[in-house]
């Protein structure tokens, strides 16, 4: 494996960390791995970003994230309804001789203003959240936060990903396998699937595996809250020839660090563990580049 290493030079990896469901320790793995390896950390779990709670970076810049939405000029509008028909998201309706606009449903695709031949539609920015840029002294950190009650997560994730610098990066995705996860993992070099050894864990893991396989993303598994015995996840991965990168056993040290809101890598034992995970990922990615 190690001979692949030289190929890595000059290539910056993007590694997505995902989990089929919430609460598997996805953010713990993302933040500690980023910290141990000195990789940039990007929180794409925009509905509930909490990686900054652990990393506690100094925020140097906050930008508004917005999407372009239509504004209809009732004087120019002749009521041809072309805009209503073209909108595949049902964000426009033709009601009582007026175009009704539902801002929360608008994806900002721009189709409506393109089809309006009467120039009645202009585009205005609608704010959907914030992007925070910062660093914790060692690693660069980015975070997207969607405004409360705001459904449009994908555009803010796209904005966020455009801001990723030219360096190795951990992308912390939202749980599940929705379109927000798809947007987060598009184009990454590797996916790290975090799960736990329970029937639910396996069930959700299978869904996540299907997603990354469909998107042709190489991946490996981390089993969190594991015990020494061989568990059902390992059995499954063995059968399916899936790479288990690490089992993180739940012990008292983790509980203590966690309860104090501290990073696991502050403890040497875990620092080594995450360094080891990071190195294995580097190897896997470099071999995939061949």
- 92 in contact with ligand SF4 (CB under 6 A): yes
Residues 26-85 that bind ligand SF4 (CB under 6 A): 69-70, 72, 77-83
How many residues lie near other proteins (CB under 8 A)?
A: 25
Least distance CB 73 / ligand SF4 (angstroms): 8
Least distance CB 47 / other proteins (angstroms): 8
The residue within the footprint of other proteins, chosen from 14, 17, 20, 264 (CB under 8 A), is 20
- 93 in contact with other proteins (CB under 8 A): yes
Q: Which stretch binds other proteins (CB under 8 A): 82-90, 114-122, 161-169, 236-244?
A: 82-90
21 binds, among ligand SF4, other proteins, none (CB under 5 to 8 A by kind): other proteins
Residues in CB range of 10: below 8 A, 6 or more apart: none
Nearer to other proteins, 21 or 143 (CB): 21
Q: Which stretch binds other proteins (CB under 8 A): 60-68, 95-103, 210-218, 254-262?
A: 95-103
Taken as a whole, the chain contains a residue count of 290
- 154 in contact with ligand SF4 (CB under 6 A): no
Least distance CB 282 / other proteins (angstroms): 28
């Amino acid at each position: 494996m190690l001979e692949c290493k030289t190929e890595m030079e000059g290539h910056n990896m993007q590694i997505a960390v995902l989990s089929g469901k919430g609460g598997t320790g996805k953010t713990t793995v993302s933040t500690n791995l980023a910290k141990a390896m000195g990789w940039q950390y990007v929180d794409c779990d925009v509905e509930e970003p909490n990686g900054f709670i652990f990393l506690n970076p100094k925020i140097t810049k906050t930008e508004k994230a917005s999407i372009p939405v239509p504004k209809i000029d009732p004087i120019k509008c002749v009521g041809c309804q072309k805009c209503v028909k073209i909108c595949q998201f049902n964000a426009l309706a033709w009601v009582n001789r007026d175009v009704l606009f539902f801002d929360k449903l608008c994806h900002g695709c721009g189709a409506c203003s393109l089809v309006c031949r009467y120039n009645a539609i202009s585009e205005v920015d609608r704010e959907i959240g914030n992007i925070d840029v910062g660093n914790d002294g060692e690693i660069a950190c980015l975070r997207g936060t969607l405004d409360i009650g705001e459904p449009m997560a994908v555009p803010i994730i796209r904005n966020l990903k455009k801001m990723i610098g030219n360096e190795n990066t951990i992308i912390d995705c939202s749980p599940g396998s929705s379109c927000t996860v798809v947007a987060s993992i598009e184009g990454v070099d590797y996916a790290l699937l975090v799960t736990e050894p329970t029937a639910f864990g396996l069930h959700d893991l299978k869904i996540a595996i299907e997603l990354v396989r469909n998107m042709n993303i190489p991946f490996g598994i981390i089993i969190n809250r594991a015990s020494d015995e061989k568990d059902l996840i390992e059995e499954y991965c063995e059968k399916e020839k899936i790479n288990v990168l690490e089992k993180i056993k739940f012990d008292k040290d983790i509980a203590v660090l966690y309860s104090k809101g501290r990073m696991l890598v502050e403890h040497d034992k875990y620092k080594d563990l995450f360094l080891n995970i990071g190195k294995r990922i580097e190897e896997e990615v470099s071999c995939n580049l061949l």
